[in-house]
Structure 1
Amino acid sequence: MSKLNPFFSVVIPLHNKANFIEACVESVLQQDFKNFELIIVDDGSTDDSIEKINNFKDNRVVLEQQQNKGAAYARNRGVEIATSHWIAFLDADDFWKENHLSEFYKAVQLFPDEVVFSSKPSIIKEHNKTTTAQYSFELDSKMKPLSYFENSTKHSLLITSGMLIKKDFFKQIGGFNEAIYSGQDTDLFIRIGLQKKIVFNPKSTFTYYVSSENNISKTPRFKERLTFINAYQHQAEKNPALQKYLDLNRFSIVLRAKMHGDSTWKVAQQELNENSLSKKQLFLLKLPGGLLKVLKSIQQKLLQFGVEKSAF
C-alpha cells in the first residue's frame, strides 16, 4: 500500500462514543482490502474516546481534533483532509464486515462512470435484535444502478455508514449541510438523488445501530426536519418519485411528533399529499399520539420475539 495514494479515504466523525469506537475502528483496520487511510475527526469528545483511539498503532489512522461543531462539520472536515478520490463514511457506533471495502472496489471497477455506491446493511434494533433491511423492490444477486427516490420508499438505498461517494461530486453538491443538526444525512441523500443513480450492492457488508447512546437521530427536532424537507417541494412538483419520498418523510414526522406531543405534526399533516400513502399509513395518520405509543410498544415487544412490523 502506498501511504501517499490510498484508494479509499474512510471518514469517521466521533463524539463521545467510547463504548463503540474501538470495535468501529477495528472493523476498518481488519478489512481484506488494505489500501485506505482512516481519518477520525473528533468533535470535542469529553469521555475517553481519544484515549481509545490512541491505543491503535497503525500508520493509516489520522486523528483530527476540533471543538464541538456537529457531525456534519466533522464529516466535511474529514473529506477536506482526505487524499483519496473516494470517500467511505462510517459512524463511530457502527461497524463494517471485512469485505466492505473490497466489495466497493469491485463496484467501482464494474461501474467506472458512477460516483455514488451503497450496500445492504444489517440492522441492530432495540433489545439488540439484528435484522436485515427490507426494500420496496425485489433483490437479486447483481450490483446495479438504481434511482434513489423510487427505491427508497421502504428502506433508504443510502445509509451514511454504507455509502461511498466520489470526493469531487460530494464537494460539487455542497457536502453535508452544517446548519442541519438532525436529518443532515437525508438532506444529502435528496441532493444526491436529484442528480445521480446509486450503484446498489445487495450483499450485506456493514452493520448499523438504530439506537445507541448519544444518537442524534433520537433527538426530536421535528420543525427543523420538516423545514429542510419542504425546501425540496418545488422540485417535487415535476418529480412524482420525489413527491412520494418527501410525503413519506412528512408521514414519519407526523407519527413521531404526535408521540412526543409536538404540535409540528399538524403542519406536517397539512402539507403532505395523502395520495402518496398506503391504506395502512392513512389509518395510522388518523390515530392520536397515545394510541401510537401503545402500538409502538407492541411493535417493540414483537421484535423481541423476532417478529418485525413497520408502518410500511
Structure 2
Amino acid sequence: MVKVSVIIPTYNALAYLPQTIDSVRQQTFSDWEILLVDDGSTDGTAAWAEALGEPRLRYLSQPNQGCATARNRGLDHAQGEYVAFLDSDDLWHPTKLARQVAYLDSHPERGWVHTWVLNTDAEGRLTQHLLASDLEGFVWPQIAEENLVFCGSSPLLRRSCFETVGQFDPALKSAEDWDMWVRIATRYSLGVIREPLTFYRQRPSSKSNRLAFHLEHRLRVIDKSLGDLGPEFEDLRQRAKGRAYLSVAWKPLLTEDYDQALALRRQALAYYPGLRFSRNYVRLGLIVRGRQWLGRAGYEQVLGAWRSLRRWGRSPHSHESAPTAPATAQPASK
C-alpha cells in the first residue's frame, strides 16, 4: 500500500498545473500517488496528463461538479495511509511530505498535521506574507471561529479521519475545506510544523477571491457548524462572522479596490468589535492607507526599504534554518 495519496482537483488550470505536479515529483519523500481529478476541464488537461508519463499519477475525469465532489472522487480512489490535498495552482516545499509523514508516524495521537503557509503572487513568486499559526491539540473552538489552517494544500491527514467524519459537502462550492477541518477537529487532535512548507498562490480570478460568493459560503459554514448549538455559543458565532468578513476584506487588495476592503473591514467590527485591536485588522488598515497615500509602487518601495533595514539589523545566522523555495517558486521582485 502506498503511504500518501495526493489528491489534486483541477478545472482549466493547465497554466499552473505543471508547476504543481512538479512540486510533488520533487518531494524528498517518494512513496506517494497522485490522484488528478479533472472536474470537466476544456483546456487540454487530459492530453497533458497522458503525455506526462508519470506512473504514480492516476487521472480521473468527471463532469464539472465543483471542488468538493472532485476531492471526494479522489478519496474514493485513494490507497494511501495518509491523504494530502493540493490545489492545482499551489506549490509545496520539497521536504513537506517527508516532514509531515515523520510527524504523524511519531505522533499516533494526532489525526492530522498542518504547516505554516507562504503566499505567492499569480506567477508563483514568493511574497513576504507568511500565514503562521501555532494551533495544535484539540482545537475545535479555534477552527470553528477561524480557518487557522489557512490553505487546503497544507494539512496531511490520516485516511481514517474521513472514514469517521465523512467526505466533503458537495453543496458547498467554496470554503468546503474549512467545513471539513471543523468536522475533523471535533474528533481528532491537530499537529503543526512551524515552517512555511506550503506555498499558496494568490490570483484575482481564483475561487476564494470571488468576494460575495466566497463570503456567502463562509457564512454558510458558520451556520452549518454553529447554527444548531445553544445560546451559550452565540459569542462564538458572532466572532466567527466577524473574522469571516475580515478575512475576505484582504481579497480586494489584489484588484486595488481599497474602498471595498475598508467596507468589509468595517462590517467585521459590527459582528466582533474586539477585532479593532487585532493584528490583522490594524495591519490591513495600514496597508490600505499606505497604498492610497503612496500608490502601490511607492508603498512597495517603502516596504522594501524597511525590510532591508530589518535584515541588515539581524544576525547573519538568523536565516540558516529557513526553508528555501522549490524550483517552481521564486522570490518576488520588488
TM beyond 0.5: yes
Q: 1:116 — aligned with what? A: 112
Change (3 A) 1:265 1:126: same
Change (3 A) 1:260 1:238: same
Please tell me whether the aligned partners of residues 36 and 60 of structure 1 are also in contact (alpha carbons under 8 angstroms).
Answer: yes
Q: 1:278 — aligned with what? A: 277
Change (3 A) 1:136 1:149: farther
Q: 1:84 — aligned with what? A: 80
- Do residues 178 (structure 1) and 170 (structure 2) align? yes
Change (3 A) 1:241 1:195: farther
Change (3 A) 1:181 1:303: farther
Compute the TM-score of the two structures, normalised by the length of structure 1: 0.77
Change (3 A) 1:256 1:129: closer
User: Residue deviations 1:34-65, cap 9 Å, x none?
Assistant: 11111100011111222222222222110001
Q: Decide which of 188, 191, 195 is 1:196's aligned counterpart.
A: 188
Q: Alignment partner of 2:222: what SS?
A: helix
Q: How far apart are the structure 2 equivalents of 1:300 and 1:64?
A: 42
Q: How far apart are the structure 2 equivalents of 1:295 and 1:179?
A: 39
Unaligned runs of 5+ in 1: none
Q: 2:44 — aligned with what? A: 48
Change (3 A) 1:229 1:299: farther
Q: How far apart are the structure 1 equivalents of 2:80 and 2:144?
A: 29
Q: Which amino acid aligns with 1:272?
A: Y
Please tell me whether the aligned partners of residues 140 and 185 of structure 2 are also in contact (alpha carbons under 8 angstroms).
Answer: yes
User: Residue deviations 1:100-147, cap 9 Å, x none?
Assistant: 11111110122112111111122114684522524465x9xxxx6463
Q: How far apart are the structure 1 equivalents of 2:181 and 2:65?
A: 21
Compute the TM-score of the two structures, normalised by the length of structure 2: 0.72
Change (3 A) 1:88 1:269: closer
Please tell me whether the aligned partners of residues 146 and 244 of structure 2 are also in contact (alpha carbons under 8 angstroms).
Answer: no
- Cα offset for 1:253? 5.0
- Cα offset for 1:99? 0.9
- Do residues 131 (structure 1) and 122 (structure 2) align? no
Change (3 A) 1:82 1:95: same
Q: How far apart are the structure 2 equivalents of 1:208 and 1:253?
A: 16
Q: Decide which of 96, 99, 108 is 1:100's aligned counterpart.
A: 96
Q: Decide which of 211, 225, 229 is 1:232's aligned counterpart.
A: 225
Equivalenced residue count is 293
Change (3 A) 1:117 1:237: farther
Change (3 A) 1:295 1:170: farther
- Cα offset for 1:281? 7.5
Q: 2:206 — aligned with what? A: 215
Q: Decide which of 240, 243, 253 is 1:248's aligned counterpart.
A: 243
Q: Alignment partner of 2:110: what SS?
A: coil
Q: Alignment partner of 2:18: what SS?
A: helix
Q: Alignment partner of 2:76: what SS?
A: helix
Pairwise CA RMSD of aligned residues? 3.9
Change (3 A) 1:41 1:255: closer
Please tell me whether the aligned partners of residues 157 and 200 of structure 1 are also in contact (alpha carbons under 8 angstroms).
Answer: no
Q: 1:162 — aligned with what? A: 154
Moved more, 244-253 or 273-282: 273-282
- Cα offset for 1:294? 6.8
Q: Percent identity?
A: 21
Please tell me whether the aligned partners of residues 10 and 37 of structure 2 are also in contact (alpha carbons under 8 angstroms).
Answer: yes
Please tell me whether the aligned partners of residues 236 and 243 of structure 1 are also in contact (alpha carbons under 8 angstroms).
Answer: no
Q: How far apart are the structure 1 equivalents of 2:28 and 2:281?
A: 46
Q: Alignment partner of 1:223: what SS?
A: helix
- Cα offset for 1:225? 3.1
Q: Which amino acid aligns with 1:211?
A: R
Q: How far apart are the structure 1 equivalents of 2:137 and 2:246?
A: 27
- Cα offset for 1:73? 0.6
